[in-house]
Structure 1
């Protein structure tokens, strides 16, 4: 999330408008069964200063702790997309893109053996359902977002191939502003 912020800030004066920046998000930020089939705990928001520290979540060395950090980071990504949409110069648009759950990408490479087996052998079959996306479909949707085939105003959340609302929690201007300010502080030494 900080890398995305720093990258955009370093390049914003070099873009030839119009520009569309696409940042990968995840529906895990919803934190409910409908969006992650109970595989990822929902986000647990804390101040940016706390989130920036190792061990920001209980039991950080567990799978649940790591997955909570992941969903929280994806919520933070959407906060920053909203704030970038407000703060970047005219002609520079920024969009959050959720490819959905895409098996075969190595996401569970460090998980326990049962989870790795499920990711390799069972979950790929679910790409035939609306719960998962094949790698090819995720790539096509991403290309459509980048090229503007999917019309998405700046600050939008694109869920696979359509503009959608992100979670209710992801619309919090106070958190968005706090996170922007913290990201500016955390990356200031690298932005010069």
Structure 2
């Protein structure tokens, strides 16, 4: 199984310091849904792992989060893309849970659910905590410079071997080119 794990806010959709609190506020980053479609066409299972502390902060409820994800799935389908699963942490940082990134709980749950090792599985994020969670779980981290990515890059301290790209479409270009060269195409 070819698996990829994507953060949501700042990678697939535009991020907001005030949180994405409604389906209307969920706007895809240009080219992100088409990039997911290309991953699907190349045989990838696409999974999202996202911190959603707005639920814990009571900025929005689970019904609203589900509506936001429904919009994401609908727009993805319109672009010919499928997001196979969405894993989320609704907790605030103070809750000290295992699922909130930078902890790797969501990644371990993905590995259990799909019965796979995450060793070398690409994970794409725009924040250090996205990359740290994936790295601890054995994933190959990729930083995009959309969302908080440019600030993350400026701060430094990225996990060893982190690939840095302009956006999700650029990461996908790299992965598909690399896969083709590995298979001799």
Query: What is the TM-score when the length of structure 1 is the normalising length?
Result: 0.31
Q: Which structure shows the bigger proportion of residues in helix conformation?
A: 1
Higher relative contact order (CA 8 A, sep 6+): 1
Query: What is the TM-score when the length of structure 2 is the normalising length?
Result: 0.32
Q: Which structure shows the bigger proportion of residues in strand conformation?
A: 2
